[in-house]
Amino acid sequence: MAEVRNKQADFLLAQAQVEAQQLRACPVHDELMKALYCEAQRIAGHVLKQQPSAYPRWQEHLDDLVTSPWFGFPLMLALLTGVFWLTLVGANYLSEILSSWLLGAEATLSSAFITLGAPKWLQGLIVAGVYRTTAWVVAVMLPPMAIFFPLFTLLEDLGYLPRVAFNLDRLFRWAGAHGKQALTMSMGFGCNAAGVIACRIIESPRERLIAILTNNFVPCNGRLPLLITLSTLFLGSLVFFPGAELGSALAVIALILVGIVATLLVSRVLTHTLLQGVPSTFVLELPPYRPPQVGRILVRSVFDRTLFVLGRAAGMAAPAGAVTWLLANTSSGGISLLQHAATWLDPAANLLGLDGVILLAFFLGLPANEIVLPIIVMSYTAQSALTHPDGLNALQALLAAHGWHAGTAVAVMLFSLLHFPCSTTLWTVYRETGSPRWTLVAFFLPLGLAALVLFCLNLVLS
């Protein structure tokens, strides 16, 4: 009898849990929460009638515009375009200055090795391999992060980001995810590792894991230079606008929208397969708009985000530079190991509309996405160290000589958008989840999606 009662109790408990989940999933719960807040607001209006309102009337009118379905989304796209424009315009000048200074110090470092009488191979490994790669990553990553993170923190301090989460909550609920994933996704534009860390704001472990696994589908500032360069070289002239720059910008924005769509679709697939469950209720009290605190913004964006992420990226890029230099300077049968590996990858890469050099560059760029294009150039020119052509015209001529066209550029850009995260992000995923299994999923899930998309695209274009 005791066993029967225990089984009945277990059955009733399981049934109650299912009914509770169904109740939470039911739209009636949202209507109930809305009614409660409206009633609380009505009561507070009577109780505090003689006191000045803590939420000014102009903020209510502004919220009506910012969170409206017609004006809210265009405003988000406009602000996203403005943030990217300010980041890219400012970062271009700062990157040139920083790159000339860091790479200029390379000659001093080489002279020091010569003075010390160090072997030539050691000088090449340290200077042309480790130092040049690390300097390249710092020069490419630091300026965009130094601009993007303060702008992002400014929007956060103003109180706008919670409105973004409010607008996107319906889309993420359709995907079975949490509305706060909109905030973590936005952080991923600066750095996917920072976006993964930001997933801590999501209370539900299941939905937090979905946000972690899909954060890679928004391009970080390590991938944006590649996307911008290829769109300028191959796609800008295809758009019939007065200037090619506008066409290039629109191509990058379109690619970002593809990444957002991929985030939603993969989140929906995960919530129906590996991470099944009922979306948790997202009740968001919009904070009042407030003037930004400049000092606090600079401290949080520079020390807590920019330098933290840059230190991790540089630490990963240094050994990658050493490995790349060794592969390019170690020969077998008169051909470098780099060329051997590219030839071996050619058959698989051709199915995706790429070649072995491109696919190898992405795998060697695992520690830092910034070195993907330099590795491609190094392989095409048979150089023994990372290099870059002087000017966009020379780069376009080099790529076109190796069979590149607009279709190739689109394939490379899509692969860069969808492929596996960098090693810094993967390490962050492991630290946040504490699971090697989910870290492997974070690597192979986007890689499989990228291969599937490029395979289908190649079938259409061929």
Task: Tally Cβ neighbours within 10 Å of residue 29.
Answer: 14
Half-sphere exposure of 105 (CA within 13 A, CB side): 11
Phi/psi of residue 163, nearest 5 degrees = -70, -35
Residue type, 432: E
The whole-number pLDDT of residue 201 equals 85
Rounded CA-CA distance 199/103 in Å is 36
Give the span between the Cα atoms of 315 and 308, in whole angstroms.
11
- Where b means 16+ CB within 10 Å and e means fewer, 375-389 reads bbbbbbeeeebbeee
Residue 438: closest CA among 451, 448, 429, 446:
429
pLDDT at 138: 79
pLDDT tens-place string over residues 86-112: 776 777 677 778 878 887 788 888 888
Pick from 148, 84, 434: which is nearest to 309 by CA?
148
Instruction: Give me the pLDDT at residue 237, please.
Output: 56
Residue 334 pLDDT: 79
Spell out the residues 6+ positions from residue 100 whose beta carbon is closer than 8 angstroms to its own. none
Rounded to an integer, what distance in angstroms lies between the CA atom of residue 134 and that of residue 125?
Answer: 12
How far apart CA 459 and CA 197 sit, in angstroms, is 38
Q: How much is the pLDDT for 4?
A: 42
pLDDT < 70 positions in the chain:
1-34, 36-37, 39-56, 84, 88, 92, 236-247, 279, 281-285, 304-305, 309, 312-313, 382, 384-392
Cα–Cα nearest to 86, from 136, 137, 168, 155 = 155
What is the predicted pLDDT for the residue at 54? Answer: 54
Task: Indicate if the alpha-carbon torsion angle 25, 28, 30, 36 is positive or negative.
Answer: negative
Measured CA to CA, the distance from residue 17 to residue 24 in angstroms comes to 10
Give me the residue spans of the domains in the chain: 72-278+295-461
CA 336 to chain centre: 33
- Asked if 369 and 416 count as a contact pair (C-beta separation under 8 A), the reply is yes
Q: List the one residue out of 147, 170, 153, 227 whose CA is nearest residue 419.
A: 227
> What is the H or E stretch that residue 335 is in?
strand 335-336
Q: Which long-range contacts (CB under 8 A, 24 or more apart) does 294-300 make?
A: 296/157, 297/150, 297/153, 297/154, 297/157, 298/150, 300/153
The whole-angstrom separation of Cα 208 and Cα 272 is 15
* DSSP string for 390-412: SSHHHHHHHHHHTT--HHHHHHH
Amino acid 327: pLDDT: 85
